[in-house]
Amino acid sequence: MRMIFLHTVVFLWILCGVSAQYRNIALQGRATQSTIINDQRYGFLGAAVNAIDGNQDPEAFHGSCSHTHYHLSPWWRVDLLKPYKIAYITITNRNDYSSRINGAEILIGDSLSDNGNHNPRCALITSIPSGATQTFYCHGMAGRYVNIIIRGKTEYLTLCEVQIWTADSD
């Protein structure tokens, strides 16, 4: 009897659409970063919005990656325009100089203190292989702003795609 009841509950749960439908809310956000590189040698502009354009191309010189100048504690931020519960974040790294993202922190919160760089940490990026996409689980951390910062290190910050996934509805 208990087994039949369990199967019925699972079937009704699925039938009623209780299962989460995740969506990438980064696409609707507004991105900014600490500095922007304008590399005339290669003819690309590393605008912050490039990291949320829906294009996961890991070649930085194709113009679909964000890219800061080389400076202390470079950061990138997306304003999701309202708070969401973040299930997970995927980040696509560039296919060359891939170690530059090592040690970056992913932060989520509602504060813009120090450009949002004091919000709680979701994850630490130890490394992402060249051209790869890696997932970081945030387990429902809530916030309007998602920051990525390489704190305390002089470095470039390049992000070829940042996807922010939620089950929240609008």
- Counting every residue written for the chain, the total comes to 170
Read off the pLDDT of residues 156-167 as tens digits, 9 standing for 90 and up. Answer: 999 999 999 999
CB-CB contact of 109 with 145 (8 Å) = yes
69-89 mean pLDDT: 97
Residue 112 CA to residue 89 CA, distance in Å, equals 20
Q: Where do the domains of the chain lie, and which CATH numbers do they carry?
A: 20-166 (2.60.120.260)
Residue 5 CA to residue 74 CA, distance in Å, equals 54
pLDDT at 43: 55
Read off the pLDDT of residues 88-120 as tens digits, 9 standing for 90 and up. Answer: 999 999 999 999 999 999 999 999 999 999 999
Confidence of residue 61 (pLDDT cuts 50, 70, 90): confident
Per-residue pLDDT for 84 more than 90? yes
With a CB cutoff of 8 Å and minimum separation 6, the contacts of 70 are: 154, 155, 156
pTM of the model: 0.86
The β-bridge partners of 144 are none
pLDDT at 96: 94
DSSP string, 92-114: EPPSSSGGGGTTEEEEEES--GG
